[in-house]
């Protein structure tokens, strides 16, 4: 079984019965060290009530516990960490925007299988803005950890040799340059300044230099 264990549902077909398990995402889902990845970044997403009391994780599609005594102030159930990490991988793997990746997840069995779903869910996994908040909370440390896990997996599957990681090649042509766009007013001002400088250099007395215009 590739996806997370779930109770059999007579009225819904399991995702591993709907897709080709030889698909690249299905193969990758079975090879990724999901538990290790989640454990390495879980501390960045500790969820607490306003009183500081730790709260249990709630599944995106599970039922919320009944309130006892008073209404909970912890907000809505959060999206499973496995789903958010998978969405981040899928976003960069397929070069999708935040809006596009959640829309595609809602109608792609392969995307949902990769995210650990057992059954197809025809709904958005989360709002697109949740991915923005997730990346902010993940931070540089979390992104480096996800990148390291990806590289380690590629080496273990022999997709890239370990020797290829000894050298880092950086292409600086995509870096922004501190060069102002040449507008007409700037070009005219440059020409005026050079003409004034040239005239003063040869002793020509100018009636007006337009320096303050």
pLDDT in tens, 160-182: 787 777 787 777 676 666 677 77
Per-residue CA distances from 127 to 15, 49, 92, 124, 173 (Å) = 23, 22, 17, 7, 35
Report yes or no on 28 lying in a domain: yes
Report yes or no on 212 lying in a domain: no
Report yes or no on 103 lying in a domain: yes
For the segment 28-39, what is each residue's pLDDT rounded down to a tens digit?
Answer: 888 888 888 888
Q: In which residue are the tokens 């102030």 written?
A: 73
**For residue 67, is pLDDT > 60?**
no
pLDDT band at 3 (very low <50, low <70, confident <90, very high): very low
Please tell me the predicted confidence (pLDDT) of residue 36: 85
Domain tally, the chain: 1
Host domain of residue 52 = 15-173
Report yes or no on 189 lying in a domain: no
Report yes or no on 182 lying in a domain: no
More confident of the two residues 88 and 72 = 88
**Model's pTM, two decimal places?**
0.59
* Dihedral sign for Cα atoms in the order 165, 83, 27, 90: negative
């Amino acid at each position: 079984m590739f996806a997370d264990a779930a109770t059999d549902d007579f009225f819904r077909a399991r995702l591993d019965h709907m897709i080709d398990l030889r698909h690249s995402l299905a193969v990758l889902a079975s090879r990724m060290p999901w538990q290790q990845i989640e454990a390495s970044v879980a501390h960045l997403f500790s969820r607490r009530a306003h009183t500081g009391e730790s709260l249990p994780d709630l599944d995106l599609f599970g039922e919320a516990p009944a309130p006892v005594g008073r209404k909970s102030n912890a907000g809505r159930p959060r999206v499973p960490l496995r789903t958010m990490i998978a969405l981040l991988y899928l976003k960069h793997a397929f070069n999708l925007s935040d809006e596009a990746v959640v829309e595609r997840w809602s109608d792609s069995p392969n995307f949902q299988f990769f995210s650990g779903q057992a059954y197809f869910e025809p709904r958005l996994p989360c709002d697109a803005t949740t991915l923005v908040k997730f990346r902010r909370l993940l931070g540089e440390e979390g992104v480096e950890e996800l990148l390291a896990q990806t590289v380690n997996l590629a080496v273990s599957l022999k997709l890239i040799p370990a020797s290829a990681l000894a050298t880092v090649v950086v292409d600086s042509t995509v870096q922004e340059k501190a060069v102002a766009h040449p507008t007409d007013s700037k070009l005219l001002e440059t020409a005026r300044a050079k003409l004034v400088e040239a005239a003063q250099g040869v002793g020509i007395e100018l009636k007006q230099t337009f320096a303050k215009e």
